[in-house]
Structure formats: C-alpha cells, structure tokens
A and B are shown apart, each in its own frame.
Chain A
Amino acid sequence: MAGNLTPSQNFDHVLNVVSGSHGRMHDLQYYAAPASGESFVKGSLLYLDASGNLVAGGAAHAMPMWAITGVDDLDANSDVGNISGGVVSAFVATGGYEIFTTEYKATDTYNPNQLLTADTSTAGYVMASAAAYSNAVVVGCVSKGVQTDVYNQSVLYFWPMFIPVTQTT
C-alpha cells in the first residue's frame, strides 16, 4: 500500500505582513499569555479578554490583533519539563499593514473594499461584514482578496483596521 500520511507543515497556518512593516524592530506588536483552553493557530484573529489574556475571535469594542505565533508553536508552548514558552505575540490592527492570513471563512465573498469582522462560527477566523457593518466590530478591509499562495494555501489579503461596534441595538 502506498503511504497515506501527510505530516503537518510549518506553512499550514500563515500570517504574512505584505506591506507597511517598515523597520521590523519597531512594529506595533503585543504579547500576552493565551487564555486557558485556547488553541488558536498562527494567523488567527485575537483580542484581549478582561484578564489581559489573548483569546481567539473578536469582541464589540476589543482591539483586533493577529497571531504571529500559535498557542502550541514550540516557542510559545513546550513539552512538560521545558521552561520555554508561555506567551504568544500578535500584530495589532492599528499598526498600518497589509497582511494575508490563512484563517478566514472560505465560503464568503471577498471583493476589494469588503469590510471584515470576526467569524461567528469559527473563533479566530475573519469573515465578510454584513451590509449594516456597524452592528459588529470591523477588523479589516479587503485589499487583493483571496489568492493562492506558494504552497497552494488559500490566503486572504486585507488591511487591518478597527471600528468598534457603534450600534448597540
């Protein structure tokens, strides 16, 4: 029988800053411990919970961020007995970037200038905002939209931004 195992690869979950990350040593980043039970991967949409821990998804008035490291990346977590890990780092939405990520809702349509919000079914994904976009937090605006990247991953290009919910009804 031919082999049928496909090991996971480093590029399965991707976050890439395409433009705007001028001088990487001064990027607008944030790092914190992930909340207990979180399992988000690189490229996921995150926000800070009330305890100051990073959680996958979005919230009405919470600053959107995108994970540079996943919870279980080996420099963010480690095997029992190791001292390494404990925090994850993220790009902050107001940093002024164009980015692409693998973590988006694939069934939505992403034309240029489509606003993005947090996916309501898969925590950590972004999805297309509704026409009445101000009923949910806006976390980005589509630039090139969905593209196929070098290892055949579908990725979504967009500019991060932050418009908190303005309608509370």
Chain B
Amino acid sequence: MFVDPKVKAINEAVLNGLTSSDPYLQKEAQNGVNDYLRLRAREDGFTRRIQPPVNVTPADLDRQVDTVKPVIVKDMEPNSPAAYSVPFGTVPMDRTMDAPRYRVMFDRILTHRFTADVANLLTYDLDIRQIFNDLMLKDMLAEEDRKYIAVADAAVGTLNDTASTRVTDVGALGYVQVGALTRTSLTDAMKGLPSTNRHLSPSRALINNITIWDVVALDRTDVGGDLSEELFINGFAERQIMGLTWMVTIKTDLVPLNVMYQFAAPKFLGDFFTLEDVTVSTKHENYMFEMFAYEMIGATLKNSAAVCKTLFSGSYQGWTAAEFGSA
C-alpha cells in the first residue's frame, strides 16, 4: 500500500508530539492532512447558539446540606398583584415581598475512550488523532443538543394539547399545527410566544435542513422579488427573517421534518453554565495511546413561555385554548 511519505512524516510527528511527556511537544502536535473520504456531515451544536454558555467556577456554587453535588441557586423575577382603584381615604393592602428560586444542576458529558496501539496509527493516510478530536467535540455538542431539545419538548407539551401544564402556567399552547409552510402559516407560527401571558417575542428559530427548502420555495409573491431570487440562487444561510435569526440544523432526529422551534432571547430562557469546559485527556503508556473528552455543564430552559414549537401540517386553529374551543 502506498502511503504518502509526507503524510507519514506528519503522522509520526503528531504521534511523537502527543505521546511525548513534554507538554510543549504535546501542544506542538501538528495537524495532519485532510485527504480522506467523508461519509456524513457533522455540525456544531445549536444549543450554545440559542443559550450562549457562561463559565462559572467552584466559587459560584451553592452548598447544600443533603448532597455534595454541585448546584447553583438562582432567583426568578417575582410576580406582583395588580394595582387597584379605591375611593379617597382607603389605605393600601399589605403584601409580603418574595420571589421564586430554582436550581441549576450539573452533570458530566463524556465521550468514549479511544485507544490504539501506536504502531497501528502510523499507517493511516490521515491525521486520525485530529479527526477523533473533532468527532469527540461534535459528539459532545450533539449530546447537549439532544438533552436541550428533550427539555424543550417537555416544556411545550404535546401537539394541540389544550390541557397541558404549559397552558395552565402561561395561558397558551406550546405546540400547535399551522398548516403547510406558506407566508400565512409562518406568520401564524410567529404568534406562538406572544400568545402567552408573558408576551415574549421570538429571537431564534430552529428548523432542519430539509424543511428549510420549503422556505426557499416561497415565491416572489410570498417574500418579495429580491429575497425570492437570492434564495433561489444561493439557497438558505443563517439569516434574519420576520425579525428573528433562523438556525438550520442537520439533526433531523432532534428537529423532525416540518417542525420549527422558536426561542426567546437568552435572558428569558434559562441558563447554560460550564463548570468545566471541554477537556481532552490524552495518555501514552508504553506503546498504548488513549484519548477521551469530557465537560461538566448545567443548563436550564426554565421559562416555558420562552419556547414554542410549530408543525407545518394540518390546519391552524390558534395558540390559546379558547381558539380551540376548550376554554
């Protein structure tokens, strides 16, 4: 088998660097070549774009009596009773001031530990260490996305459910169908967050890389001549439409066909804390090499009025139980 001597030299340099006990040499491990067959597209995570992470330190943690697990306790915006009109001479009614709190909890996201005999790495015509490094990072971001969408789905409830916890809490459904994707159904979708009693506006939309083509298919009568032409020629890239940033993901297992999530601005959504950001651990013992990556994060989507979900199918009835005839 022919192995490009230049690539072989780079791989040896990478291995020598990685397997050296000298930290400087480890840092200097070179990137290898990029000449290999890709089988699938991978992407960075969308969760960190919806809720940008904030680094925290052990000093930010709140100690608990019953557990040693790391926790951060945060305050929520309080509610206040409505003001009222009274005749002259009336004194105000008393009300204790308080505000709810919630806990941000942490766990660890971990990749598998990849191991190899160093001799077996020398024959690759690609920088397998760098590739696994990238794969580990993207796998961890995918796990963040999986867990974040699971919480979003729990917050919005099931399709057209007029009796969900979200309806009770914030006065509007979290997941409705609006009909096939048209300009009209898009505008109906935009009413989701403002329909709650918290009246938030969407900041970001999340849609998959197949459904987005239905947006590209909107013609000049739907979106205007310039945008229609530009989408037709260039396809869709992350952009502002209807006042919010549209993010496109290839993770169709998380964001299915004809589904769109909308999220309010990060300060209304929740938290994303990194107690220990992504760390890659490498170890070389004699001729065995191993590497894995880990991180420790805590994230919340605590405000159910800050997320909604739309299915571009069926027919639109509305976002409130009253519009469904259930209130």
Contacts and interface: CB of A to CB of B under 8 A. Distances in A.
A19 B211 CA distance: 56
Interface string B61-73: 0000111110100
B66 A7 contact: yes
Nearest to A76: B107
Nearest to B145: A83
A149 interface: no
Nearest to A12: B66
Nearest to B148: A83
A9 B65 CA distance: 7
A73 B151 contact: no
A84 B69 CA distance: 12
A27 interface: no
A74 B296 CA distance: 13
Contacts of B65: 7, 9
B66 A79 contact: no
Interface in A33-61: none
Contacts of B66: 7-10
Interface stretch (B223-231, B253-261, B298-306): B298-306
Contacts of A83: 144, 147-148, 150-151, 298-301
Nearest to B108: A75
A85 B107 contact: yes
A81 B67 contact: no
Contact of B69 (A75, A80, A81): A75
Contacts of B102: 79, 81
Contact of A74 (B67, B147, B154, B270): B67
Given A7-B66, A75-B69, A84 B298 contact: yes
Q: Is the interface of A mostly helix, strand, loop or mixed?
A: loop
Contacts of A7: 65-66
A41 B128 CA distance: 41
B106 interface: yes
A112 interface: no
A86 interface: yes
B104 interface: yes
A147 to B, nearest CB: 23
A78 B155 CA distance: 14
Interface residues of B, number: 28
Contacts of A4: none
Contact of A82 (B68, B108, B300, B304): B300
Contacts of B183: none
A78 B108 CA distance: 13
Nearest to B303: A81
Interface string B60-91: 00000111110100000000000000000000
Contacts of A86: 147
Contacts of B106: 74-75, 84
Contacts of B104: 82
B42 interface: no
A83 B109 CA distance: 11
Contact of B105 (A8, A10, A84): A84
A48 B155 CA distance: 30
A82 B71 contact: no
A10 B68 CA distance: 7
A83 B299 CA distance: 6
A145 B105 CA distance: 36
A82 B303 CA distance: 11
17 contacts: A9-B66, A10-B66, A10-B67, A73-B69, A75-B69, A75-B106, A76-B107, A78-B103, A78-B107, A81-B102, A81-B155, A81-B270, A82-B300, A83-B150, A83-B151, A83-B300, A84-B299
